[in-house]
Chain A
Amino acid sequence: MRDFVLERPRSISEALEILKNQGEKAILKSGGTDVIVWLHKSLKEPDYLVDLTGIDQLRGIVMNDDNVEIRALVTLNQVIEDNAMNRYFPALVQACKAHSDPLIRNRATVVGNICAAVPSGDMIAPLMCYDAKVEIVGSRGTREVPVSDFITGPKKTSLRQEEIVTGIRIAIPFVETSGCYLKATRREALDIAQAAVCCTLHKGDSREFRIAFCAVSPRPLRAVEAEKLLNSSSVIDDSIIENAARLAADAVNPITDVRASREYRIDMIGELTKRAISLCLRGPAEEGGHI
């Protein structure tokens, strides 16, 4: 591993000061489960590594009146063990369980997964369905960006050089909901998705389905046409589900790589979408996971 200076700021303002002084020579790290591997493989060669794990302001899942904030140092296992996250955001909890393995989940963070911005990031699809906002702080103040705008391409985000993601904010659904995350993999741990589908159902005055994908597009993607069909149908029968799955498969544009071919991925999106809709209709207790 190439040498670098490790900075361990104790506050957000101290971290911003380091970023301001070092500019492009610095990169950020939270859990480090991606960043340290990149450093090992010389995929990144920063002069300064800014480790955020010493900043207490970035810890905790904070419930407010109508939203929840997942701060930058919250690990996947902390989400899995949190009662409110299980109650309100089951699809996100299932995505956390489908990520890596129980040991890595003690370090890997939800925010880090979004900032790594790889198309196979497991947190992306559920946060798209829950319409999450990325909270950013910089020397010029704070701003908030929807997840869909935050990730601009494979490993690319709209985070500027002198900014830090402090957390993710999600509105609490005050209606009955169900949700699931279905992930096609070759084995059930330590594997990256060949394709995955997240589906949530909010049962308020009107029923609202949301569907998003993982590992089948360069940027985060919702199945807009499939959602329209489902949300405008008074009765969801097998033929509607079949049509929605076809619209979902039409919406994605995957690549062929070592994990799966483009064709296989498109087929799996159709199949996973069908299963995900059915699971959501059956109710909140249904668990997704690896397929």
Chain B
Amino acid sequence: MKDKYVTLTINGRKTTRVVEDRTTLLTALREYGVTSLKRGCEEGECGACTVIMNGLPQKSCLILAREAEGAEILTVEGLVEKGRLHPIQQAFIDEGAIQCGYCTPGMVMTTYALLSKNPSPEEEEIREALSGNICRCTGYLSIIRAVKKSADILSGKAKGGEACEDY
């Protein structure tokens, strides 16, 4: 076992991490301190570890850390600006789309990727986009409402709820 290095940009900050060859991106990010992404199934089924890597939403348990050499990684931590929650995060709170919260960071990142590409998705498109993120609290209806609300707020069709300043 020999330590290796990987240099990547996590939420806008370039950093070099010491990893093993077998370290997954999920583990490397959590050890760095980005703990929004969750270790769920570790076999690509649940989506709790979803991050956006080089613009594409992906499951970080299926990526080795060294594969992310030079990559740009975005997680929920990177959506928060000056302590204000991102409108997608706020919509998830307002719509009651969080129960245990374990799936939420993955749901939020998949939603972010969807709305970046398709600002006003149909319900069918939302269901398809989120089909790789599993919620076991059975909260899908409120999650879909939250995605619709996020889309409306981000496209200026609706006003967002007041963000919690101190988050």
Contact = CB atoms under 8 A, between A and B. Distances in A.
B63 A32 contact: yes
B146 to A, nearest CB: 18
B67 A49 contact: no
Contact of B66 (A6, A33, A36, A101): A6
Interface in A9-54: 32-33, 36-37, 39-41, 49, 51, 53
B20 interface: yes
A190 B132 contact: yes
A1 interface: yes
A73 to B, nearest CB: 12
Interface in A175-193: 188-190
Main secondary structure of the interface of B (DSSP, over half): mixed
Interface in A83-104: 100-104
A8 interface: yes
Interface in A147-192: 188-190
Given A51-B67, A102-B57, A103-B47, A32 B62 contact: yes
A51 B22 CA distance: 12
A36 B66 CA distance: 13
A37 B64 CA distance: 11
B119 interface: no
Nearest to B59: A103
A36 B64 contact: yes
A104 B131 CA distance: 11
Nearest to A51: B67
A205 interface: no
A256 interface: no
Interface stretch (B8-16, B38-46, B135-143, B155-163): B38-46
B131 A188 contact: yes
A37 B131 CA distance: 20
Given A33-B62, A40-B43, A102-B57, 13 more contacts: A1-B22, A3-B1, A8-B66, A32-B64, A36-B44, A36-B62, A100-B44, A102-B129, A104-B44, A104-B59, A104-B62, A107-B59, A107-B62
Interface of B: 1, 4, 20-22, 24, 42-45, 47, 50, 56-59, 61-64, 66-67, 69, 110, 128-129, 131-134
25 contacts: A1-B22, A2-B22, A5-B21, A6-B66, A8-B66, A8-B69, A32-B67, A33-B44, A36-B61, A36-B62, A36-B64, A39-B22, A51-B64, A51-B67, A100-B44, A101-B47, A102-B57, A102-B129, A103-B58, A104-B44, A104-B132, A106-B57, A107-B58, A189-B131, A190-B45
